[in-house]
Structure 1
Amino acid sequence: MPVLPKWQEFEEGGVVVPAVKRGFELGPRGQNRNDAFKRGTTKTHRPVVRFDLCIKCTLCWLDCPDECFDPTDDGLYDVNYEVCVGCHKCAAVCPVPECIVMVDELKFADNTSPWEAHKLNPLEYIKWAEDKKGLDRISYPHVTGTGYEVTEGKTVPPKTAPTAQT
């Protein structure tokens, strides 16, 4: 069996590994995505985000192992469906009920940006999101990794702006 050197026994020099430049363009670690390596080709679910319900807590962005959430100009997080593998972690950590819901992959025709659709017409996007979500909520236990649970969700109406009282 080989004997590895202790940390004090390493010689100076050796291999230099360049660090990744810091930045937040593509996730909390600031790393670039590899365009040649497509991920998410075997997923069975994808997240649908209700941007009007989001409280900008950043938990989905921080907890996503694939860094598929891209920050937008107004502090929300767009989902890059080409990178997402459908692990359900974003939906599990989101503190807002019905804000991020995992939906069957077969309900989608393409990987277009949900944030772009929301920017164009927020009310139409909410209607689209609620239609995709349906009422079944599937969750997988991340600790044991066995089985899954189906619970009934609810439809959430759009948030309305507060009215001034006189």
Structure 2
Amino acid sequence: MKTREMISAMIETENKAIAWKARHGLNILRISLGLIFIWFGVLKFFPGVSAAEVIAGRTIEKLTFGLILPAVSLPVLAVWECVIGLGLISKKWLGLTLLLLYFQMIGTFLPLVFFPDETFAHSLLVPTLLGQYIIKNIVLLSGGVVIGATVKIRNTDAESYS
């Protein structure tokens, strides 16, 4: 095979891969996020299983000035996260699902403010393992934003993005 033919074949392969990603990438992202929310949500139904259980309970308790204790807030949070996951996977009520996701994500970042001694070591540039666990949620939030942008596009008849 000549160099020019090999380069053409590589370009064609790359173009096919890009087209496949454009067709399927958003669905992969949506379903992946949905699975993560269901997985982490289900863990919260079982006391002592979720790595985020203690910090989530303490955060909600602090946010509500002690009115909602972890025994109540964690099952509610578990249901909330599972609803987000099911909404993402099914694409039902996607606008509402994303609103729930955004509010849940805001809540996940609150421990960085409420409990900085537990989420950062030495400075804001050195997160603890708990801080890293929280900060990685930027990626989940970003995925939700991308999906949200496609909901808006789809509502304006740009069906090629769905």
TM-score (ref. length: structure 1):
0.30
Greater share of helix: 2
User: Whose relative contact order is higher, 1 or 2, with alpha carbons under 8 Å and at least 6 apart?
Assistant: 2
Greater share of strand: 1
